[in-house]
Chain A
Amino acid sequence: MKVLVPVKRVVDYNVKIRVKSDGTGVDLANVKMSMNPFDEIAVEEAVRLKESGAASEVIVVSVGPAQAQEVLRTALAMGADRAILIVAEGTVEPLTVAKLLKGVALAEEPGLVILGKQAIDDDCNQTGQMLSALLGWSQATFASKLELSGNTAKVTREIDGGLQVIDVTLPAIVTADLRLNEPRYASLPNIMKAKKKPLVQQTPEDYGVTPAARLSVLRVEEPSGRQAGMRVSSVAELLDKLKNEAAVI
């Protein structure tokens, strides 16, 4: 069984981005970029499936600019076998990404597609669900545990009230939550080896998709900020403030 893992190149999670003063977007010049953290978890899960013998091949795919090769190489260094880069400049909306991934899935016929639950730049939390809908394959989002048996997967999902366990028929779409695993760091020898692993470039047109934005971003604003308040020196002073100044208790 092949496992397909879509990975997105995003602003590193440690970076605090700035809104451009003209309101046209956020300033991404010279900002550190990395693999979306949820996608590292997805890659790790796929590689573990391969190591346990449940998967035969791990294919990673990214939609993005030429530099997205770097995150694909990182995934290869973590243990993925080969990579596909679908070259597209600028913002590509989740619906378009899902249509492209559908094309890849139909060509590769994986038994599982593991995505991140959310890209930490657009915070959309949509692509996996959309891909599942477009393919008509089963869907298990926000996974914190994944167990394969025969042609089904038992998935534990993180939901608002706790956890939910479902069985999904393969092929299935799974989206990874934080507790699914702890991704490994690629070792230096594996980083070297990854340079020789196959990485092919495609275009959206190869999959019959023309990226066109459906939503218009009218402007990007600074969030209303918060000022640091005051330091209190004792529990008694804190309680006094909460009761008499803030009136919240």
Chain B
Amino acid sequence: MAILLLADHDNATLFETTARALTAASRIGGEIDILVAGKGAGAAAQAAAGLTGVRRVLLAEADALEHRLAEPTAALIVAIASSYDTIIAPATSTGKNVLPRVAALLDVMQISDAIEVVSSDTFKRPIYAGNAIEVVQSREAVRVVTVRTSSFDAAAAGASAAPVEALPAGAEGAELSRFVENLLSHSDRPELGSAKIIVSGGRALGSQERFNQIINPLADKLGAAVGASRAAVDAGYAPNDFQVGQTGKIVAPDLYVACGISGAIQHLAGMKDSKIIVAINNDGEAPIFQVADYGLVGDLFEILPELERQL
């Protein structure tokens, strides 16, 4: 049978997380349809149609779907679920919000945050903040899976475009929730999820001002994304969407520079699959050094400006 992939996008652009989840879907095997639910989302649908290995793109447009609120989006998926034996989405805030609803409405268990496709019904997924990996099999009639995007490369654009078909969308579930506004952080830096280099700051930065003064110039010099520990976000030094960790974003860049971050298990859970980890910390005993390829013990307020100058 076939696989339905719920696209992550903002109507205007298709997010790279969709192409990463497509790679996971192609490892499961079967014809793949991508569902673009939104409003004025033709551009996102065209981008999805251009990816390799897509049978067709289903474009569902309605007022209720503009912001992909959970209730109408799940109802839309459930309405077409009988044509599919796997329903998959990237484990982004939209996928995590919508897919468990779909699973419950179909009376099946969801496999959350798959990091490896073992076979069409068996997946590996991290538990206990990544300190154990569960190999889990689903014998449900339909498998509902979210995938950790940092574990899969993005599928490339294909030679030819798949057809885009309009999917009629009702307003079922739309009366339950109403979108008010998005307060998005704007930045010219790369996205945490796709950046090759990430510079992350912790509690040691001490204030939002110092975080910006010390972390940002180095990140800009390196063309890096900026991340943060929970402690830095809780204290208001960095916005919530910068949080890297078990309960924040999971990243795996080529280079992760942890500055003034102690290395709690919850933080390590979000970055320990990075190719190279650099730790800068004035406490030589900090646990972050146990996972760092290169550790530099010292005061970050001296080291980071120096690093930026020498680059």
Contacts and interface: CB of A to CB of B under 8 A. Distances in A.
Given A158-B241, A248-B254, A221 B135 contact: yes
Contacts of B241: 158-162
Nearest to A164: B182
A222 B132 contact: yes
Contact of A246 (B103, B112, B266, B276): B276
A142 B222 contact: no
B63 interface: no
Given A133-B104, A229-B293, A218 B137 contact: yes
Contacts of A126: 100, 103, 110, 112
A144 B240 contact: yes
Contacts of A13: 265-266
Contacts, number: 256
Contacts of A226: 272, 277, 290-291
B133 A161 contact: no
Given A95-B109, A117-B247, A232-B294, A238 B180 contact: no
A215 B143 CA distance: 10
Contact of A26 (B100, B132, B296): B132
A179 B233 contact: yes
Contact of A129 (B97, B184, B306): B97
Interface in B255-291: 255, 265-266, 272, 275-278, 289-291
A223 B131 CA distance: 6
B103 A130 contact: yes
B109 A217 contact: no
A120 B105 CA distance: 24
Nearest to A229: B293
Contact of A118 (B135, B176, B247, B310): B247
Contacts of B311: 239, 249
By secondary structure, the B interface counts as mixed
Contacts of A158: 93, 240-241
Given A126-B110, A220-B135, A232 B296 contact: yes
Given A166-B69, A238-B294, A221 B133 contact: yes
Contact of A218 (B135, B177, B197, B294): B135
Interface string A216-234: 1111111100101111111
A1 interface: no
A226 to B, nearest CB: 5
A230 B132 contact: no
B165 interface: no
A167 B180 contact: yes
By secondary structure, the A interface counts as mixed
Interface residues of A, number: 79
Interface residues of B, number: 90
B108 interface: yes
A126 B110 CA distance: 8
Interface in A110-132: 117-118, 120-132
B52 interface: no
Interface in B200-233: 222, 230, 233
Given A11-B128, A216-B136, A248 B276 contact: yes
Interface in B119-153: 122, 124, 126-140
B188 interface: no
B295 A230 contact: yes
B113 interface: yes
A127 B69 CA distance: 17
A246 B246 CA distance: 26
Contacts of B246: 120, 123
Given A19-B131, A164-B183, 16 more contacts: A16-B131, A120-B128, A128-B100, A132-B70, A139-B97, A161-B185, A166-B178, A178-B234, A214-B138, A220-B127, A220-B132, A223-B133, A235-B303, A238-B278, A242-B255, A249-B255
Interface of B: 10, 67, 69-71, 74, 92-94, 96-105, 107-113, 122, 124, 126-140, 175-185, 193, 196-197, 222, 230, 233-234, 239-241, 246-247, 249, 254-255, 265-266, 272, 275-278, 289-297, 303, 306-307, 310-311
14 contacts: A26-B131, A93-B109, A95-B104, A124-B110, A159-B182, A166-B180, A169-B175, A178-B234, A217-B136, A220-B132, A231-B295, A235-B307, A246-B276, A249-B197
Report the 8 A-B pairs with minimum CB-CB distance, sorted nearest first: A138-B176, A229-B293, A129-B100, A130-B104, A126-B100, A133-B104, A214-B109, A162-B184
